[in-house]
Structure 1
Amino acid sequence: MKNINQSFTLPNTEYWDMRSTAANRDYRIFAFKPEEAPPSGGYPVIYLLDGNALFATMVDAVRAQSRVQKKTGVCPAVVIGIGYPGDALFDPARYYDYTMPTQPDQIIPGPEGKPWPELGGVSEFIDFIEQDLKPEVERQFPIDGGRQAVLGHSLGGLFVLQALFDQPHLFQNYIAGSPSIHWNKSYMAEAEQRFVSRMGQGAGQADSSSRPQKLSLLITAGELEQSHPSRMVENASGLADRLAKLAEQGSELRVEYCEFAGESHISVLPALISRAVRFALVQAANG
Structure 2
Amino acid sequence: MTFSAFEPHSAHAVTEADAEPLVVPNAFVHQFQPEKLDIALRLYVSVPDVPPPDEGFPVLYAFDADISFIALADMARNVTMSARRVKRAPPLVVGIGYAAPEDHLKRRIYDLTPPTDIGKLPKRPNGLPWPKTGGGDAFLDVLIDEIKPFIAARYPVDDRAETLAGHSLGGLLVLHALLTRADAFDRYVASSPSLWFGDRETSDKLIAFQEQTARSVSRKIPLRLTVGRLEETPTGWRAQKGKALENRKVWLKNNRMVGNTKDLAEALAKINGAIQVSFDIYSGLGHAAANYPAFYQALEFAVGPDAFRAVGEEGKSR
TM-score past 0.5 threshold: yes
Q: State the match for 1:220 in structure 2.
A: 226
Asked whether 1:258 is paired with 2:280, we answer: yes
Identify which range, 126-135 or 252-261, moves more after superposition: 252-261
Out of 147, 172, 176, the position equivalent to 2:161 is 147
The residue aligned with 2:99 is 85
Aligned match of 2:141:
127
1:280 aligns with 2:277: no
Contact preservation (8 Å) 2:28, 2:46: yes
1:26 aligns with 2:35: no
Deviation string, structure 1 residues 220-250 (Cα, Å, up to 9, x no partner): 000111433211000001111111123xx3x
CA contact (8 A) 2:203 2:264 kept: no
Is the radius of gyration larger for structure 1 or structure 2? 2
Alpha-carbon distance between aligned partners in 2 of 1:170 and 1:222, rounded to the nearest angstrom = 28
Aligned with 1:112: secondary structure?
Answer: coil
Q: Secondary structure at the match of 1:216?
A: strand
User: Partner of 2:259 in structure 1?
Assistant: 234
Distance 1:4 1:270 in 2: 31
**One-letter amino acid matched to 1:101:** P
Count how many residue pairs are aligned between Structure 1 and Structure 2: 274
* Aligned-partner Cα distance in 2 for 1:89–1:67: 35
Instruction: Tell me: CA distance 1:23–1:68, structure 2 relative to 1, closer, same or farther (3 Å).
Output: closer
Cα distance in 2 for partners of 1:190, 1:244 equals: 14
Matched, 1:45 2:67: no
CA contact (8 A) 2:91 2:299 kept: no
| Deviations 1:175-199 (CA, angstroms, capped at 9, x unpaired) | 1011000011353245324522442
Q: Is residue 2:79 matched to residue 1:65?
A: yes
Q: 1:75–1:282: 8 Å Cα contact kept in structure 2?
A: no
Q: Secondary structure at the match of 1:220?
A: strand
What is the alpha-carbon distance in structure 1 between the residues aligned to residue 174 and residue 82 of structure 2? 29
The SS at the match of 1:28 is strand
TM-score, normalised relative to structure 2:
0.79
Greater shift in the superposed pair: 110-119 or 160-169: 110-119
Q: Pairwise mapping of residues 127-206 of structure 1 onto structure 2 (< 5 A)?
A: 127-185=141-199, 187-203=201-217
Alpha-carbon offset, residue 215 of structure 1: 1.2
2:259 maps to amino acid: E
How many angstroms does 1:279 deviate by? 2.2
SS of the equivalent of 2:265 reads helix
Do 1:222 and 1:262's aligned partners in 2 also have CA atoms closer than 8 Å? yes
- With 6-15 and 150-159 compared, the bigger mean Cα shift is at 6-15
Q: Specify the SS of the correspondent of 1:182.
A: coil
**How far is 1:112 from its partner?**
1.5
Q: Distance in 2 between matches of 1:115 and 1:60?
A: 37
Q: Which residue of 2 aligns with 1:244?
A: 269
Name the CA distance, whole Å, in 1 between partners of 2:125 and 2:86. 41
Change (3 A) 1:22 1:42: same
Q: Which runs of 5+ in 2 are unaligned?
A: 1-15, 234-251, 308-318
Q: Distance in 2 between matches of 1:150 and 1:11?
A: 23
> Which structure's residues are more often helix, by fraction?
1
TM-score, normalised with respect to structure 1: 0.88
Q: Deviations over 1:162-217 (max 9, x none)?
A: 111111111111110110000113532453245224422313xxxxxxx1x33110
Does the 8 Å contact 1:172/1:214 carry over to 2? no
Q: Are the counterparts in 2 of residues 243 and 255 from structure 1 also a CA contact under 8 Å? A: yes
Q: Tell me, in whole angstroms, the C-alpha distance in 2 between the residues paired with 1:260 and 1:88.
A: 30
Q: Is the 8 A contact 1:162 1:191 kept in 2?
A: no
Shift of 1:68: 3.5
TM-superposed CA distance for 1:66, in Å, is 1.5
How far did 1:69 drift?
2.8
Q: Secondary structure at the match of 1:95?
A: helix
Deviation (angstroms), 1:27: 1.2
What is residue 21 of structure 2 aligned with on the other side? 7
Q: 1:40 to 1:146 in 2, by over 3 A?
A: same
**1: CA distance between counterparts of 2:86 and 2:192?**
25
Residue 252 (structure 1) shift: 4.0
Q: Distance in 2 between matches of 1:201 and 1:20?
A: 39
